[in-house]
Amino acid sequence: MKTVYDFTVKDRKGNDVSLSEYAGKVLLIVNTATGCGFTPHYDPLEAMYKELKDKGFEILDFPCNQFANQAPGSEEEIHSFCTLKFGTDFPQFKKIDVNGETADPLFVFLATEKPFVGFGKGIKNAMLEKFANMNNKQFGDRAYIKWNFTKFLIDREGKVIARFEPTVDMADVKKAVEAIL
């Protein structure tokens, strides 16, 4: 059975990183953007990372510019923004595509293991769904990820346990992480 440990990604400098280097850790894999309304998620992500990293927890950050061009900068510009504005210390990787023909295989795998089931209830979520559908129409059946700050929880064996859309409360994400630590 395939796990996230079967994938190799690029660090922000373009070097190969086998995700098997994270074997035995609980992972939260996130596609991010610096100009998104959900960018403030970096604060609770960093707080969770600081609190839980010594218990075997890692956050893997993958910037993506496929959602309304909300991550237009270079890897270094994005990294500087995140470290200066939010103090992020967790690993940040090369900017990738998460949808379409050029989607990174890791994100195709993640989204196939835990497909999109909706943003939740409420007017705000309905509006995001409408906007996401318009944006993702260009990707057709390869619109694997619906918006920035989609999070995937991976257990210590490399299996995808849960998917959290950006509309999920970060306190609930943290509870799920703590439950499998």
What was the pLDDT predicted at 128? 87
Q: Which domains, ranges and CATH numbers included, belong to the chain?
A: 4-180 (3.40.30.10)
Q: Give the C-alpha separation, 107 to 127, whole Å.
A: 24
What was the pLDDT predicted at 134? 87
Q: What is the set of active-site residues? A: 36
173 — pLDDT class (breaks 50, 70, 90): very high
Q: Give the C-alpha separation, 100 to 104, whole Å.
A: 9
Provide mean pLDDT across the span 92-96: 96
Task: List the alpha helices (DSSP H) in the chain.
Answer: 42-52, 75-86, 105-113, 123-136, 170-180
Cβ within 8 Å of residue 134, ≥6 positions away = none
Total-model pTM: 0.94
What was the pLDDT predicted at 95? 96
